[in-house]
Amino acid sequence: MENPEIARMLAETADLMEIAGEDPFRIRSYRNAAAAIENHPERIVDILRDPSRDVTAIPGIGKGLAAALREIAERGSFARRDEMLAKYPPTALELLRIPGVGPKTVRALWEHFRVSTIEDLARLCEEHRIRELRGMGARTEQKILEGIAHYRQVAGRFLLNHAAAVAAELAPLVNGTPAGSLRRGKETVGDLDILSTDPGAIGRFLAHPSVHEVLAHGETKASARFGAEGLQVDVRVIPPESFGAALQYFTGSRQHNVALRQRALKMGFTLNEYGLFTVEGQRRVAGDTEEGVYEALGLAWIPPELRENHGEIEAAERRALPALIEERDIRGDLHMHTRESDGRATLEEMAEAARQRGYAYIAITDHSKALAMANGLDEKRAVAFAAEVRRFNASGRGIEVLSGLECDILRDGRLDLAEDALLELDFVVASVHSYMNLEPAEMTARLLRALESPAVKALGHPTGRVLLHRDAYAYEFETVAKEAARRGVWLEINASPERLDLHAALIRRARELGCRFVISTDAHHPKHLANMRYGVQMARRGWLTASDVVNTMEPGALRAALRRQA
């Protein structure tokens, strides 16, 4: 059993215990243990198997949880979990994912109505029976229905990093290439397409232990759900002479392909997943490589991230596609957290992980005090932290650390910390974490006011969206982007797979308005630094080149740019 699976088991048990109304501190222990295990570099089952090792050496694992872990390793579950599952059906966990529905509501639904599925809950709301519960009224029924609608809208879609992880496991197994929205770097993925020319691909795919619920199984295509999360994966076997055409076809997008096929017809060709053929005589013109298909259509090869029919075909015809930024252009990461607030590693550990990635610099940007739940820094701690960073840099560790802060933007647009303290720091990214449903005009004014401070160098996760969970907050993006450009405040492209904020369309628009960008992972753990690839992909989808992105600069140039901003 792998660590993420163990972690999920503990977290689900914690959710069920919360529904049961058990001691909140005990529940937190389960959640802490789940987080510790999820992020642990070694397999927990290996540690358990080794008599010279002690699993309680992991912070957050004590005697009780160690016993539970041994039980999980032995039989795939543990007593507390079994007990909880005897009390509440597993479908109750899904109800918790509806915005506005929490553990107390789930418990009341089960005790009063024996309801634990989304379908039944929706019916109760429609029949106005929720109001039979104490403290619930018509407005609550309406809110729950809205929450269910939102949940259904995002159900069945997966975050980019999840699809990428599945692809990384399956593609080598089937000698395949991932296509589809994953290859285009779209922020969420509905299903995963993998193309292969290996006739044995389908057999090996279906034999994988995490493959279940086979939806289709033929000579050239198999379709199945993968893993506990159930991402649908399609594996297709393609004749080698058609591989390029198939890769093009299955990468999409649909709009891009439609435009490409129209172009082919005008040129006397017909394009499908098997190749590019002459209309007269069906003679094969291209198909073994993607480059060949585009070339035969008079186009430069188009990077997958641009294939949305948003002008890329015209640019490819003029040979005027931008030289898109690449991950290797990135020289540092300017947004990350440590244990000082809600991160899980130390300054030293984050810096070392960044150095191993080949970065020249990072900024440590812990939260500010308004985020009390994250143990955010006040002025005194922020200034002390800057001194600590100076000491670190003086010790010569092969990477330059900038002292920074992710400073909360308060409701009225003021910054959470006093300006003189902020000006002691090298890099301040200002972010909204509260009051996210203000009226658009008020939110716009709030952001404009935050941009006024000379201490603010960047605007963090500028729209506040959380993928599959929460929409962007409403404000006049154009107005704010223009002001950011005028003041030289950079817009963050937050590379966390849960956010990917800004998205492509806004990046492109902001660039037209003169903005510059910083791509940042918002890492809370060393392993999150690897999420940079998703931010770069989002920047590519926004047509950015390396010169649009400030953290492609060498350290000296970046320092100079930061001074100019002040």
Residues near DNA (CB under 7 A): 23, 25-26, 28-30, 32-33, 56, 59-66, 80, 96, 99-106, 135-141, 143, 372-375, 433-435, 437, 466, 469-470
Q: Choose between 59 and 156: whose C-beta lies nearer to DNA.
A: 59
CB of 326 to DNA, least distance (A): 33
CB of residue 89 to DNA, shortest distance in Å:
17
Phi and psi (nearest 5°) for 327?
Answer: -60, -35
Nearer to DNA, 338 or 551 (CB): 338
Q: How far is the CB of 1 from DNA (least distance, A)?
A: 19
Q: Which residue has the tokens 């034999």?
A: 207
Nearer to DNA, 28 or 397 (CB): 28
CB-hemisphere CA count at 13 Å for 51?
0
Q: How far apart are CA 138 and CA 129, in angstroms?
A: 9
Compute the distance between CA of residue 541 and CA of residue 561 in angstroms, rounded to an integer.
Answer: 25
Q: Which residues pair with 330 in a beta bridge?
A: none
Helical H runs in 20-131?
Answer: 24-38, 44-49, 63-75, 79-87, 91-95, 103-113, 118-126
Query: Which amino acid is present at 452?
Result: E
- Shortest Cβ distance from residue 142 to DNA (Å)? 8
Least Å from the CB of residue 211 to DNA: 33
DSSP state of 322: -
Q: How far is the CB of 156 from DNA (least distance, A)?
A: 20
DSSP string, 298-310: T-----GGGTTTS
Q: Give whichever of 367 and 533 is closer to DNA, judged by the CB atom.
A: 367
> In the complex with DNA, which residue's Cβ is closer, 143 or 186?
143
Burial class (CB in 10 A: 0-12, 13-18, 19+), 35: middle
Q: How far is the CB of 108 from DNA (least distance, A)?
A: 7
Q: Edge-to-edge strands of the sheet including 332-333?
A: 332-333, 361-367, 400-408, 427-431, 456-459, 490-494, 517-520
> Which of residues 33 and 507 has its CB atom nearest to DNA in the complex?
33
- Coil, strand or helix: which one is 287? coil
Least distance between DNA and beta carbon 235 (Å): 36
Question: Shortest gap between Cβ of 65 and DNA (angstroms)?
Answer: 4
Residue 470 or 527 having the CB closest to DNA: 470
Q: Which long-range contacts (CB under 8 A, 24 or more apart) does 410-416 make?
A: 410/370, 410/434, 411/435, 411/438, 411/446, 412/446, 412/449, 413/445, 413/446, 413/447, 413/448, 413/449, 413/450, 414/449, 414/450, 415/368, 415/450, 415/453, 415/455, 415/456, 416/368, 416/369, 416/370, 416/376
In the complex with DNA, the residue whose CB is nearer, 104 or 254, is: 104
Nearer to DNA, 372 or 566 (CB): 372
